[in-house]
Amino acid sequence: MTRCSKSRLRPIWGAVCLALTAVPLAAQSFSESADVVVVEVPVQVVRDGEPVRGLTAADFEVSDGRNKVAVTGFEVLDLAAPGKPSAVPAAARRHFLLLFDLTFSDPQAVVRAREAARDLVLQGLHGSDLVALATYSAKQGTQLVLGFTSDRRQIDTALDTLGLAKLAGRSVDPLRLVLSQLAPAGGEGGAEGSAAPRAAEASLEAEAANSMSMLSELGAMGAMGRDATGSAQKAAISGLTRSFAGLARMMGGVVGRKHVIYLSEGFDSSITQGTVASATEDPTQDTVSGGVLAADGSMSSSESRFGSTESLNDIEKMLEEFRRADCVIQAVDIGGIRAGGDQGTQRRGGKDSLFQMARGTGGELYENANDLSAVMGKMLQRTGVTYVLSFQPDKLKRDGSYRKLKVELKGTPRGTRVLHRPGYYAPKPYVDMTPLERLLETATQLVGGEEFGSIPAAVLAAPFRAAGERAYVPVLIEVDGAALLAGEPGPALPLEIYVYAMDPAGAVVDFLTQTMNLDVAKVEAALRQSGIKFFGHVDLPPGSYSLRVLVRNGITGAASLRVAALEVPAFAAASPVLLPPFFPEPPGRWMMVREAPRGEAKQVAYPFMQKNQPYVPAARPVVGSEPAAVSLVGYGLAAGDLKAEALVLTRDGKEVGPGTLEVVGREGGGGGGGPDRLAATFQAPSLQPGEYLLRVTLTDGAGKSQTSAIPFVVPAAGRGARG
């Protein structure tokens, strides 16, 4: 069985995550990084059908081609370990692609198969597993409905519609991580009295109508493949192999182990295997002009008897693409998924073709799989422990070439299997990637949540109280202009910005994406002087979030991902809240860009105000030897004297010493639920150049204390604000 590894551009840098208390903040500083190619090789070790636990890096040997390489990184993911795994490496996470065959399948079997797939996702898979959904039809080819995500609500929506155009509007999410905007867990509002039964009845009616519409749509899309015979069937198989080969090549760019759950009734295997000799044929038959002369004098195609060599070659080329991309096909014969006594119609030879695809990639064929979790239980169990071995290849050309891999276990006991992919692809130049490959790469980076970056960027986000249950969360992104222009910028530079807020379960609660086409001739001077400062927002209910912010040069592919924790308080609870300290910047430093209007959301009042004047806070505050102006924003602070304290820490959380924080003005607040805005000054202690953390503690008139924090930078002598 082939297993996963992934070659990817992964940065080596010294960024340190700071553990903060009571931090309603997402902020990151500029960080320089040197791009180094790190190849991550997920490995599974199985003995007697059970995963082998307790291995270390010293137990493995890795060969890149003919050369043994040093293992420079080692991580383990054990899905049976108690508690939730933290910081799961992307390469260790199992990836499941639900691939519905709409051509070589009966429509009713497809509808039933989606329920079996839904049960697998909701009950059989681990919370760290990522799931994507795609469909295949002869009419449309392979369509990616939903990218790899841990958001079970979005997967449920994707299964409801299977991406059929008449049944679902296309998502506005370019990365296909979000198909529909759903209310947070528990919903917003609720039904009262007799409204709940009426809503349930309406839901059942809508589901029935949806199923009927889906059956009609599936029937129209799959008729050609199911009803075709002879040369048309051969052409249909050729179309499938070409489309699946393209899917496999695209999947080669996805980090982690990929299991393709292929839900189909299979194609007629007689096209590739031929048919058994008829009783009317003479064993001493003669071959005439490529045909077979039967006893009754009729001619039959030798291809129909012995199978199509061309089709067999197409299938083998397709399977080789899946093997190289480390995709294992787990074929599910959905002709065996029946309701009650319904036996349906079995496709002739379909089971054989499904077995061929599964066996050719190291997977298995599953039959009568109403309960996929149960029948796939052994596969799920033996893939429950993954060892991720990392190494740095020497003199690797970034040409997308394929390189062979070999992983061995020292002192292997009898019956032990070491499962890994046979090779990996060198990084491919961004310009050579297809749009779908770029989409999957970007989505994988965001979902994986591992920071990287060749473009220095900084992010600041903080929640402000708004009407309704959701907070208004402005997101400020500072992008270094010189790095953005690196290379050979053309006349237009597309700057791509992606902001996704994910809850602890991996669900995308809100997102923002925007592409800005910059006229280089007009903005180059301003960019090289500083860069771009983007102002956008997301709307979030109370809770804890991981904010993922990715910026990319759409021409060169140079990008950076910043990940930050964000806590949105329950403002309605009336408990005191202190937002992070904001350092107002002088105007004119950045080329400012504001998000484009989206949806029907009403314009929200600009949140950063002091003395009735707007200001723009720094995402990466630079603090020198002179006192710096600071704006403190709080909610629910009691009237009376305020006491403010400042403590400076190193990046790794060690105390450096107190600073001087003096509150010089207060406005707003009161009983209306609005914010308290405090004008203050901060004087840092004597510090060496570098990055630090400012932690502010504010005690209100009732003696209640709140703490918040923000990183800041002390520049070297003679260096400006960019540091």
- Please determine, for residue 451, whether its predicted confidence score (pLDDT) is greater than 70: yes
- Taking alpha carbons only, the member of 267, 78, 372 closest to residue 364 is 372
User: Between 28 and 303, whose confidence is greater?
Assistant: 303
Q: Report the distance separating Cα 280 and Cα 511, nearest Å.
A: 67
Confidence of residue 330 (pLDDT cuts 50, 70, 90): very high
609-610 vs 643-650, strand pairing mode: unpaired
Confidence of residue 164 (pLDDT cuts 50, 70, 90): confident
- Please report the pLDDT score of residue 7 as a whole number: 34
Exposed/middle/buried for residue 594 (C-beta within 10 Å: 0-12, 13-18, 19+)? exposed
For residue 155, is it left (φ>0), alpha (ψ between -120 and 50) or beta?
A: alpha
- Please report the pLDDT score of residue 488 as a whole number: 77
Q: Give the pLDDT mean for 315-321.
A: 95
Please report, as a single letter, which amino acid is at residue 21.
Answer: T
Spatial neighbors of 177 by CB under 8 A, at least 6 apart, are 146, 147, 149, 151, 154, 443, 446, 447, 500, 508, 511
- Please report the pLDDT score of residue 633 as a whole number: 95
Helix (H/G/I), strand (E/B), else coil: 455:
coil
Please report, as a single letter, which amino acid is at residue 615.
Answer: Y
Can you give the pTM of this predicted structure? 0.82
Which H or E element spans position 199? helix 195-227
- Please determine, for residue 18, whether its predicted confidence score (pLDDT) is greater than 60: no
The DSSP result for 396-452, as a single string, is --SS--EEEEEEEETTPPTTEEEE--SEEEPPPPGGGS-HHHHHHHHHHHHHH---E
Spatial neighbors of 199 by CB under 8 A, at least 6 apart, are 191
> In the chain, which residues fall in CATH 2.60.40.10?
621-723
Residue 524 tokens read as 């180059």
Integer-rounded Cα radius of gyration of the chain: 30
CA 69, 75, 77, 81 dihedral sign is positive
What is the fold, at CATH topology level, of the domain defined by 6-13+33-90+385-432?
A: Immunoglobulin-like (2.60.40)
Q: Are 676 and 630 in contact (CB under 8 A)?
A: no
Confidence of residue 600 (pLDDT cuts 50, 70, 90): low
The torsion defined by the Cα of 199, 504, 173 and 104, in degrees rounded to 10, comes to -70
Q: Give the pLDDT mean for 669-675.
A: 70
Helix axis angle, 152-161 to 195-227, nearest 10°: 60
Neighbours of 235 (CB within 10 A): 15
Q: Are 472 and 463 in contact (CB under 8 A)?
A: yes
CA 76, 81, 87, 90 dihedral sign is positive
365-366 vs 327-333, strand pairing mode: parallel
- Please determine, for residue 13, whether its predicted confidence score (pLDDT) is greater than 50: no
What separation in angstroms does the CA of 340 have from each of 351, 370, 432? 21, 11, 51
Confidence of residue 287 (pLDDT cuts 50, 70, 90): very low
User: Between 602 and 425, whose confidence is greater?
Assistant: 425
Q: Report the distance separating Cα 116 and Cα 261, nearest Å.
A: 12
Q: Report the distance separating Cα 40 and Cα 6, nearest Å.
A: 6
- Please report the pLDDT score of residue 651 as a whole number: 87
- Please report the pLDDT score of residue 285 as a whole number: 45
Q: Are 462 and 25 in contact (CB under 8 A)?
A: yes
Residue 678 tokens read as 């405090």
pLDDT winner (highest mean) among 6-20, 160-174, 309-323, 666-680: 309-323
- Taking alpha carbons only, the member of 686, 679, 675, 474 closest to residue 26 is 474
- Please determine, for residue 120, whether its predicted confidence score (pLDDT) is greater than 70: yes
Spatial neighbors of 520 by CB under 8 A, at least 6 apart, are 485, 489, 490, 491, 492, 493
Q: What are phi and psi of 38, to 5 degrees?
A: -120, 120
How many residues can be counted in the chain? Answer: 723
Question: What is the biggest distance separating any 2 CA atoms in the chain, rounded to whole angstroms?
Answer: 109
The DSSP result for 224-237, as a single string, is HHHH--THHHHHHH
Class of domain 621-723: mainly beta
- Please determine, for residue 311, whether its predicted confidence score (pLDDT) is greater than 70: yes
690-699 vs 643-650, strand pairing mode: antiparallel
- Please report the pLDDT score of residue 205 as a whole number: 46
CA 85, 88, 91, 96 dihedral sign is positive
Exposed/middle/buried for residue 218 (C-beta within 10 Å: 0-12, 13-18, 19+)? buried
Strand ranges (E), 432-568: 452-453, 457-461, 471-480, 492-502, 508-519, 531-540, 543-553, 559-568
CA 443, 446, 451, 457 dihedral sign is positive
pLDDT in tens, 80-90: 888 766 667 78
577-578 vs 492-502, strand pairing mode: unpaired
Residues 250-275: b if buried by 16+ CB within 10 A, e if exposed? bbbbbbbbbbbbbbbbbbbbbbbbbe
DSSP code, position 357: H
